[in-house]
């Protein structure tokens, strides 16, 4: 069996390679399907700076307008800005044109519901059904509405943050921040936010011209330049965003990339210090989040991997903070979405109010090492692999909601398949990298792949 | 079946029914592929569906790797001129010309500013049918659509080709009905430049079409009223995209759209004898006029591309069609209502002749036009059946375009429309009664 590697239609939207599978006709039809699904209402659209953004945008606008929808185009902006605008304008939905951390040749459509959240599995299935049926709402002449280009959405985003958190408390010296926006959607709004908060910003990769200065995922191995720049300028902290500015990674004043898991840890530390309440993370997130929550006597709820699962649980439990181990921070008081701008504001406030450095703050929290591996595995073999894991660790505490998570005395490990690629992910956390790697290798051997 | 016309002149249909955004996207991709990802201009008229189709066209062109320049709302002839001075490889006009507001269409223009000819139209269709288009990768796709203004440059070219100084000196009072179409951006400006006192009506491009965008007498009531009230020397009626022109005389007479070419031919041929290029469906008045001045007439199939090619081939001095489309070759080789306006006002200014007087001296024939709606898949069959009947009756057939037969007291022309699903019957005779008889005769012989 041969899968085509360049088109992916799933709950996370429509991903494809420009000039290959991502054709304007496909895009227009999906937009028609979405316009039909949302009942010809108002749809907010925004995009990241990818080179194909303009083409994709026009295809989407054509499809939406043809269904009688009204389109509000907020231009190049972070995905969380689109989500915020959908709620702010009480729109019927939104489309974010971005392929997140995929390489430059990709682009994608991500569909947002009237709640400002991405579509859940049921809604995504409905949308796909409409797409397949091919019967879209078609209006003519008088019922056609317009597309309006709107400026200022990112300014409103900054205002939303400052309205809730306020500017940074005065410190002896202004906080010095290095921001690496990967030339992505955070390039202009990120520095603006940092200055509006009252900190000094040093810009790295803030030219949104469609170029990729580094791989977009803010993993430690991709942040060499940021770490160097933090040390060079003796900055207090470094932030790295991905292409669509929803995920955030942190570099300490020592120039050490602390790991994208710890973004949520620090954000949780700040939020619970102000307001106690439930915390939500996913099964793959570091235990350090739970450690912080315990300090404040707050419950932690872990969910299946995936933003929609996290936001669902956050709504259910009325969580005050949530997110995932990939650097996504969700702070409902400002925006019910993974939001790197909110993350930046929360962490800067933490630094300013605690008057501690990043390293000092981390010293008070257990440090873990997470090792993540992915191994090729055809989708029809995954069930067998998971069964093996369950058998091998039968005498351990297990959570089988998303693959198999096994709690071992000094850490945990998680084995799960992927919906989007023919791989198995093996993740382990322990007190040291050595031990975490040992756990991973042990599992890999046991499942004999 | 719902109306959708895909043919060598482009694609045309009703938005909300058959003219879908995907169709526009694919045609744009086809054109971008055909022109090898070159620089392509896009313009549109004021139809409500213009924005939606524009987005589809931009997406298709960008995806094919083209460099795109959006001229916004402007008359098609303005874009055709711009293709030349912007050194573009082609252009797409998003306009259904004289069709009602529910319609829209794509018309394709090549690098010399002319419409694709029939061979080229077929080549474009082949690409569309094949469905395999040029596709730009993220490394070569153009990141932005450029913009440009075509109107001012159009006026400049017009200015250079007519005796503007003389026209200005006469300070003519001219009425104009822009139909709230693309000419709203061009005509009042051009007339002002000619020193006219401009009585403009329906010059709001944001408002809907006030009447059918066809410059025929039945749509000229408002214009007529303004001509009379303002004591204008002449009134001009536009279609939605600036190709066809209708005229109301100084006496307030709304003239048949056939008269526009007759008037233009008379003006032109008085100055110098030459060849007028028109189509087989246009009034014989132009033949009579040409004969008077030692000129000649060449007849082509219906469609602007044929007129353009005929003008090139025969070194014509004027082109035009009975629909009201006029081509003034020294400006450009396609229909341009603003150029026709220049020609007519130049004559009025240079000679002082009133338009009503000029018209009084023109041959008066009666032309009757009747459309018969036919199911799209029957169009060709109906024509063939009519042809068979003509042959049976022993009549000589001119098959240049559809079937034309010349009879003792006039002629009858039957053809399928390029733009709608109908058979067009046009008859002409020297008198009304004879013309009506011919029309009845023709209708009797058409079986739907």
**What's the pLDDT score for residue B2?**
67
Go through the domains of chain A in sequence order and give each one's CATH number: 7-151 (3.40.120.10), 156-363 (3.40.120.10), 369-446 (3.30.310.50)
Alpha carbon separation from B375 to B64, B378, B383, B415, B448 (Å, rounded): 35, 5, 12, 14, 9
Write out the DSSP string of B118-182.
Answer: HHHHHHHHHHHHHT------TTTS-S--EE---HHHHHHHHHHHTTHHHHHHHT-EEEEE-TTSG
User: pLDDT tens digits for B201-210?
Assistant: 999 999 999 9
**What's the pLDDT score for residue A449?**
56
Cβ–Cβ gap A19/B137 under 8 Å? yes
> CB contacts < 8 Å between A and B, how many?
128
B27 shares contact with chain A (CB less than 8 Å): no
Cβ–Cβ gap A19/B102 under 8 Å? no
A188 burial type by CB count under 10 A (0-12 exposed, 13-18 middle, 19+ buried): middle
Residues B424 and B417: their CA atoms lie apart, in Å, by: 6
pLDDT band at A300 (very low <50, low <70, confident <90, very high): very high
Residues B392 and B280: their CA atoms lie apart, in Å, by: 22
Distance from CA of A208 to the nearest CA of B (A): 12
Cβ–Cβ gap A19/B62 under 8 Å? no
A-chain residues within 8 Å CB-CB of B15? 66, 140-141, 144
For the ranges B62-66, B316-320, B438-442, the lowest mean pLDDT is seen at: B438-442
**Contact (Cβ atoms closer than 8 angstroms) between residue B70 and residue B91:** no
Residues B196 and B234: their CA atoms lie apart, in Å, by: 11
Per-residue b/e over B294-313, b at no fewer than 16 CB within 10 Å? ebbbbbbbbbbbbbbbbbee
Q: Note the Cα A154 to chain centre separation in Å.
A: 18
Residue A216 pairs in a beta bridge with none
A-chain residues within 8 Å CB-CB of B48? 141-142, 144
Best residue in A6, A19, A147 for a mutation probing chain B (most B CBs within 10 Å)? A19
Residues B130 and B133: their CA atoms lie apart, in Å, by: 8
User: pLDDT tens digits for B20-29?
Assistant: 999 999 999 9
Cβ–Cβ gap A19/B29 under 8 Å? no
Write out the DSSP string of A10-52.
Answer: ETTEEEEEBTTTB-HHHHHHHHHHHHHHTTS-EEEEEE-S-TT
A-chain residues within 8 Å CB-CB of B145? 54, 58
pLDDT band at A447 (very low <50, low <70, confident <90, very high): confident
User: pLDDT tens digits for A151-204?
Assistant: 999 999 999 999 999 999 998 899 999 999 999 999 999 999 999 999 999 999
Best residue in A20, A21, A25, A60 for a mutation probing chain B (most B CBs within 10 Å)? A25
Report which of residues B8 and B382 the model is more confident about.
B382
Q: How does the average pLDDT of chain B come out, rounded?
A: 95
Across the beta sheet with B296-300, what order do the strands follow? B296-300, B275-279, B318-320, B326-327
Distance from CA of A298 to the nearest CA of B (A): 47
Which residue among A52, A62, A209 places its CB closest to the CB of B138? A52
**What's the pLDDT score for residue A420?**
67
Find the distance separating the first CA and the last CA of chain A, reported in whole Å: 20
**What's the pLDDT score for residue A172?**
87
Average pLDDT over residues A84-89: 97
Cβ–Cβ gap A144/B26 under 8 Å? no
For the ranges A6-20, A206-220, B106-120, the lowest mean pLDDT is seen at: A6-20
Chain B residue with minimum CA distance to A107: B138
3-state class (DSSP) for residue B368: strand
Task: Indicate if the pLDDT at residue B404 is higher than 90.
Answer: yes
Q: Complex ipTM above 0.90?
A: no
Go through the domains of chain B in sequence order and give each one's CATH number: 4-150 (3.40.120.10), 167-360 (3.40.120.10), 366-444 (3.30.310.50)
Chain B residue with minimum CA distance to A49: B143
pLDDT band at B309 (very low <50, low <70, confident <90, very high): very high
Question: Containing H/E element for B304?
Answer: helix B304-314
A-chain residues within 8 Å CB-CB of B52? 61-62, 65-66, 144
For the ranges A68-77, A291-300, B154-163, B402-411, the lowest mean pLDDT is seen at: B402-411
B58 shares contact with chain A (CB less than 8 Å): yes
B349 shares contact with chain A (CB less than 8 Å): no
B-chain residues within 8 Å CB-CB of A32? 21-22
Distance from CA of B26 to the nearest CA of A (A): 7
**What's the pLDDT score for residue B303?**
87
**What's the pLDDT score for residue A279?**
98
Q: How does the average pLDDT of chain A come out, rounded?
A: 95
**What's the pLDDT score for residue B326?**
98
User: pLDDT tens digits for A368-383?
Assistant: 999 999 898 888 888 8
Phi-psi group of B81: left, alpha or beta (phi > 0 → left; psi -120 to 50 → alpha; rest → beta): alpha
Cβ–Cβ gap A105/B138 under 8 Å? yes
Cβ–Cβ gap B144/A54 under 8 Å? yes
Average pLDDT over residues B203-222: 95
Write out the DSSP string of B328-347.
Answer: -TTT-SS--HHHHHHHHHHH
Chain A residue with minimum CA distance to B52: A62
Task: Indicate if the pLDDT at residue B1 is higher than 90.
Answer: no
Q: Sign of torsion, CA A311 A316 A318 A320?
A: negative
B17 shares contact with chain A (CB less than 8 Å): yes
A-chain residues within 8 Å CB-CB of B17? 138, 140
Cβ–Cβ gap A140/B49 under 8 Å? yes
User: pLDDT tens digits for B69-118?
Assistant: 999 999 999 999 999 999 999 999 999 988 899 999 999 999 999 999 98
This prediction's pTM: 0.91
**What's the pLDDT score for residue A142?**
84
A-chain residues within 8 Å CB-CB of B141? 18-19, 51-52, 55
Average pLDDT over residues B42-53: 97
Structure tokens at B250: 């100084």
Chain B residue with minimum CA distance to A140: B16
Contacts with A445 (C-beta within 8 Å, 6 or more apart), sequence order: none
**What's the pLDDT score for residue B447?**
75
Chain A residue with minimum CA distance to B17: A138
pLDDT band at B420 (very low <50, low <70, confident <90, very high): confident
Task: Indicate if the pLDDT at residue B4 is higher than 90.
Answer: no
A-chain residues within 8 Å CB-CB of B135? 18-20, 23
Chain B residue with minimum CA distance to A63: B21
Best residue in A40, A58, A98 for a mutation probing chain B (most B CBs within 10 Å)? A58
Helices (H) and strands (E) in chain A, counts: 14, 20
Residue written as tokens 């949530």?
A322
B-chain residues within 8 Å CB-CB of A107? 138
Q: Which residues of A are catalytic?
A: 100
Task: Indicate if the pLDDT at residue B166 is higher than 70.
Answer: yes
Average pLDDT over residues B218-223: 96
**Contact (Cβ atoms closer than 8 angstroms) between residue B270 and residue B295:** no
Chain A residue with minimum CA distance to B47: A141
**Contact (Cβ atoms closer than 8 angstroms) between residue B214 and residue B321:** no
B26 shares contact with chain A (CB less than 8 Å): yes
B20 shares contact with chain A (CB less than 8 Å): yes
Average pLDDT over residues B222-229: 97
């Amino acid at each position: 069996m041969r899968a085509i590697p360049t088109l992916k239609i799933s709950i996370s939207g429509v991903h494809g390679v420009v000039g290959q599978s991502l054709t304007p006709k496909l895009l227009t039809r999906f937009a028609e399907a979405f316009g039909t699904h949302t009942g010809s209402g108002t749809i907010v659209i925004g995009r990241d700076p990818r080179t194909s953004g303009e083409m994709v945008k026009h295809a989407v606008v054509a499809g939406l307008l043809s269904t009688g929808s009204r389109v509000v185009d907020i231009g190049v902006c972070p995905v969380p800005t689109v989500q915020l605008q959908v709620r702010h304008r009480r729109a019927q939905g939104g489309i974010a044109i971005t392929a997140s951390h995929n390489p430059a040749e990709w682009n994608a459509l991500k569909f947002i519901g009237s709640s400002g959240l991405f579509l859940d599995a049921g809604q995504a299935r409905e949308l796909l059904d409409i797409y397949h049926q091919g019967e879209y709402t078609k209006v003519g002449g008088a019922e056609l509405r317009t597309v309006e280009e709107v400026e200022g959405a990112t300014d409103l985003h900054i205002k939303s943050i400052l309205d809730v958190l306020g500017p940074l408390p005065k410190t002896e010296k202004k906080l010095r921040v290095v921001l690496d926006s990967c030339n992505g959607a955070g390039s202009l709004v990120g520095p603006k936010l940092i200055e509006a908060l009252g900190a000094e910003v040093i810009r790295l990769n803030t030219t949104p011209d469609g170029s990729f200065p580094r791989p977009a995922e803010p993993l430690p191995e991709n942040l060499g330049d940021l770490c160097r720049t933090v040390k060079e300028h003796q900055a207090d902290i470094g932030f790295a965003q991905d292409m669509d500015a929803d995920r955030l990674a942190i570099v300490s004043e020592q120039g050490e990339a602390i790991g994208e898991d710890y973004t949520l840890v620090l954000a949780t530390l700040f939020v619970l210090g102000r307001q106690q309440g439930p915390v939500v993370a996913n099964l793959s997130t570091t235990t350090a989040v739970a450690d912080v929550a315990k300090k404040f006597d707050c419950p932690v709820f872990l969910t299946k991997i995936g933003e929609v699962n996290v936001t669902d649980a956050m709504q259910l439990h009325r969580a005050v903070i949530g997110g995932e181990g990939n650097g996504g921070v969700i702070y409902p008081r400002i925006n019910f979405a993974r939001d790197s701008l909110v993350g930046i504001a929360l962490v800067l406030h933490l630094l300013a109010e605690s008057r501690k450095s990043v390293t000092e703050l981390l010293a008070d929290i257990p440090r873990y090492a997470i090792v993540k591996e992915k191994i090729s595995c055809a989708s029809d073999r995954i069930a067998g692999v998971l069964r093996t894991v369950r058998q091998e660790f039968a005498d351990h505490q297990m959570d089988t909601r998303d693959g198999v998570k096994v709690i071992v005395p000094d850490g945990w490990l998680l084995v799960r398949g992927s919906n989007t690629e023919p791989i198995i992910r093996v993740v382990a956390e322990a007190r040291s990298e050595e031990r975490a790697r040992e756990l991973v290798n042990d599992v890999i051997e046991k499942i004999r792949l | 079946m719902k109306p959708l016309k895909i043919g060598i002149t482009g694609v045309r249909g009703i938005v909300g029914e058959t003219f879908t955004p995907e169709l526009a996207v694919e045609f744009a991709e086809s054109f971008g592929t055909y022109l090898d990802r070159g620089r392509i201009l896009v313009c549109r008229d004021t139809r409500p569906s213009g924005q939606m189709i524009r987005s589809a066209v931009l997406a298709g062109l960008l995806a094919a790797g083209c460099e795109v320049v959006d001229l916004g709302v402007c008359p098609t002839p303005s874009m055709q001129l711009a293709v030349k001075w912007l050194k573009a490889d082609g252009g797409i006009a998003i306009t259904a010309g004289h069709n009602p507001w529910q319609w829209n269409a794509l018309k394709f223009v090549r690098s010399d500013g002319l419409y694709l000819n029939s061979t080229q139209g077929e080549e474009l269709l082949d690409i569309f049918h094949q469905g395999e288009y040029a596709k730009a990768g993220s490394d070569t796709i153009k990141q932005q659509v450029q913009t440009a203004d075509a109107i001012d440059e159009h006026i400049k070219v017009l200015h250079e080709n007519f005796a503007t100084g003389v026209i200005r000196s006469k300070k003519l009072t001219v009425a104009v009905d822009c139909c709230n179409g693309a000419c709203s951006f061009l005509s009042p400006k051009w007339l002002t430049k000619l020193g006219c006192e401009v009585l403009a009506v329906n010059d709001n491009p944001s408002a809907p079409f006030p009447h059918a965008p066809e410059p025929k007498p039945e749509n000229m009531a408002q214009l007529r009223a303004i001509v009379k009230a303002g004591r204008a020397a002449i009134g001009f009626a536009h279609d939605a995209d600036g190709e066809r022109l209708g005229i109301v005389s100084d006496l307030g007479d709304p003239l048949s759209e056939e008269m526009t070419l007759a008037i233009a031919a008379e003006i032109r041929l008085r100055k110098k004898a030459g060849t007028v290029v028109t189509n087989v469906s246009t009034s014989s008045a132009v033949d009579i006029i040409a004969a008077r001045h030692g000129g000649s007439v060449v007849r082509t199939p219906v469609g602007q591309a044929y007129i353009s090619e005929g003008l090139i081939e025969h070194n014509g001095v004027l082109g035009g069609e009975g629909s009201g489309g006029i081509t003034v070759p020294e400006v450009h080789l396609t229909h341009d209502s603003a150029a026709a306006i220049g020609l007519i006002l130049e004559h009025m200014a240079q000679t002082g002749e009133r338009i009503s007087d000029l018209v009084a001296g023109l041959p008066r024939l009666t032309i009757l036009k009747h459309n018969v709606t036919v199911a799209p898949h029957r169009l060709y069959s109906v024509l063939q059946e009519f042809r068979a009947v003509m042959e049976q009756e022993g009549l000589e057939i001119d098959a240049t375009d559809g079937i034309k037969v010349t009879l003792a007291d006039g002629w009858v022309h039957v053809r399928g429309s390029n733009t709608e699903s109908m058979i067009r019957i046009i008859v002409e005779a020297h008198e009304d009664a004879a013309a009506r008889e011919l029309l009845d005769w023709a209708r009797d012989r058409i079986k739907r």
